[in-house]
Amino acid sequence: MKKWSKKLIFIALVALLCEGHSYAQVAFEGASFAKVELTSPLALKVYMVHPKGENFTLRIEGKQTDKIKTYKQQASEWEFVTNAVYNNGVWVIPNAPLDRGYIVEGGSLAESSFYWLVDYRRYPIPKEGLSVFHAPEAPCQQVQITASTPFQTFHCFSPEGELLPIARKFTVRFDDLFYDAAKQEFIPKETTLQVEPKNGELLFTSSLKTTDYKVVGDEYTTPLSIQQKEVATNVLVPNRLEVHPRYKLNGEEVQSFGKELSAPAEVQMEAIVNNPSTTLVSWRIISGNQVTEAAPIIMQYNGTGTTFRFEQAGGYTIILEASSQTGTCRVSAEPVTLYIQTSQLEVPNAFSPNSSPGINDVFRVVHKSIVKFEASIFNEWGNLLYRWNDPNGGWDGTYNGRWVEGGVYYYVIRAEGADGKKYDLKGHINILQTDLQEQITPL
């Protein structure tokens, strides 16, 4: 024993100077196995082993002069493997005990190898009593799965006796949703996660959908060719919320509002949420572009969709929030700002109807942010020829369906801007006579 302890010290010192050893090949008959990626002292090689029946055989390449030893917790307490048989360049060990370390001790350090064999059967995936609930630490984002037995991790012992944890990730599968920004809708999908246990439980980000959760294996299930039956939890309504806004400006779908808008600007707002049947949605429009408690509230609405008509100049911020019915969980979309321009109204002094179609053939004002408008056209005797109330409209130079004569006509325009500015404009407009109009019988 003392000789071995000194040798361990020697090995540990040399290991600091060497990158590794030349390891013999390991194989099993009657058992499936997978190599475990683990950084460990003395370049310990770890294998996950799953016997297919009661009997299996471990085979390790080596020399007949090798000494085959085993240990439970530290190599200084080694024992000889008495049933190891050397046959044609291979050490054969029938029914080698698992969850143990093995040493193939050669004539030198470079010719020695260290192994640990994990018995996968001793760490079963829980099959009963699975339950999912909102995680107490983060109930609005995460869920937690428990079972009648804990979700275990693996471990092994280094030759020095150090307990080395072996990471284990359980495979969890569930129905979920993801938001397609191009389609502006939630799309069903199946999510698969690899989850490391914490205190014997599984903790991870919740689905966006009401669903159950299925534990279907771990990262060794497939390499070990294990037919693992999936186990489902109860169905859980998610606390996790996700909300996205959809906007229309004057009936047209928009992704943003640009730098400035002309009033009146009618904005249609729609909230897209992952679980509308259990979600409370609220909209707020505040004055200014800073979201503070003191900001004046222009509009407040509870519901997924509403419409607001902006008629006053200035900056505004649209705030969209969603919360669970209990109000425990709340989420907000990115606030959207917009700016309504100050008003402007300009009147042309001439136009040429029925001359070149589409070019200056309508008497129309140039405007920004005009919320009230009325315009009238009179002839030289004061007779009303045309009146309209939409600043985007105009006069085409006709009266009772016939072209009027070229010459001077008079307009009266009364309007009000989004900034409160009032307009009372009067003036004359010239209709330019063209050769084409001279051929048409005027009014």
Check residue 24 and give its pLDDT.
Answer: 63
Q: 161: alpha, beta or left, given left = phi > 0 and alpha = psi -120 to 50?
A: left
Same topology, domains 243-340 and 344-431? Answer is yes
What is the per-residue pLDDT for 7? 43
Q: What CATH architecture does domain 243-340 belong to?
A: Sandwich (2.60)
Output the CA angle 61-66-72, nearest 5 degrees: 85
Report strand pairing: 422-431 vs 350-351: parallel
The HSE-up count of residue 216 (CA atoms within 13 Å, CB side) is 12
CA 104/CA 78 separation, integer angstroms: 12
Which residue carries 């495979």 as its tokens? 171
- 155 and 38 in contact (C-beta within 8 Å)? no
> In this predicted structure, what is the pLDDT of residue 8?
43
Domain 26-122 has what CATH class?
A: mainly beta
Identify the DSSP state of 2.
H
Structure tokens at 38: 């683990």
* Cα-Cα-Cα-Cα dihedral sign, residues 103, 107, 109, 112: negative
How many helices and strands in the chain, by DSSP H and E?
A: 2, 37
- Between CA 81 and CA 366 the distance in angstroms is 99
What residue type is 417 in one-letter code?
Answer: G
Give me the pLDDT at residue 434, please: 56
* Residue 338, helix vs strand vs coil: strand
3-state secondary structure of 109: helix
- Dig out the tokens for 228 from the structure: 């693992």
Across 279-421, the runs of DSSP E, i.e. the strands, are: 279-287, 297-302, 305-310, 314-324, 330-332, 336-340, 344-346, 350-351, 366-368, 370-378, 384-388, 398-399, 402-403, 407-417
Q: SS3 helix, strand, coil % of the chain, rounded to 5?
A: 10, 50, 45
pLDDT in tens, the chain (443 residues): 444 443 444 344 333 333 334 456 899 999 999 999 887 766 899 999 999 988 999 999 999 999 999 999 999 999 999 999 999 999 999 999 999 999 999 877 677 889 999 999 999 999 999 999 999 999 999 999 999 999 999 999 999 999 999 999 999 999 999 999 999 999 999 999 999 999 999 999 999 999 999 999 999 999 999 998 999 999 999 999 999 999 999 999 998 888 889 999 999 999 999 988 788 999 999 999 888 888 999 999 999 999 999 999 999 999 999 998 888 899 999 999 999 999 999 999 999 887 777 788 999 999 999 999 999 999 999 999 999 999 999 999 999 999 999 999 999 999 999 999 999 999 999 998 754 444 444 44
pTM for this entry:
0.77
Confirm if 379 and 397 have CB atoms less than 8 A apart. no
Per the document, the length of the chain is 443
- Distance between CA 198 and CA 220 in Å, rounded? 19
Backbone φ/ψ region at 89: left (φ over 0), alpha (ψ -120 to 50), beta:
left
Every domain of the chain and the residues it spans: 26-122, 130-236, 243-340, 344-431
What DSSP designation does 89 have? T
Distance, in Å, from the CA atom of 98 to the CA atom of 56, rounded to the nearest integer, reads 11
Domain 344-431 has CATH 2.60.40.1220: yes
CA atoms within 13 A on the CB side of 40: 26
Q: Is 42 left (phi over 0), alpha (psi -120 to 50) or beta?
A: left
Compute the distance between CA of residue 154 and CA of residue 218 in angstroms, rounded to an integer.
12
Q: Retrieve residue 242's tokens.
A: 């996700």
User: Is residue 47 a contact partner of residue 34, using CB atoms and an 8 Å limit?
Assistant: yes
Tokens of 304: 């997924």
Q: Which helix (H) or strand (E) holds 164?
A: strand 163-166
Dist CA 358 CA 360 (whole Å): 7
Q: Give the integer Cα–Cα distance in Å for 140 and 133.
A: 11
- Lookup result for tokens 């640009």: 258
The confidence score (pLDDT) of residue 39 equals: 79
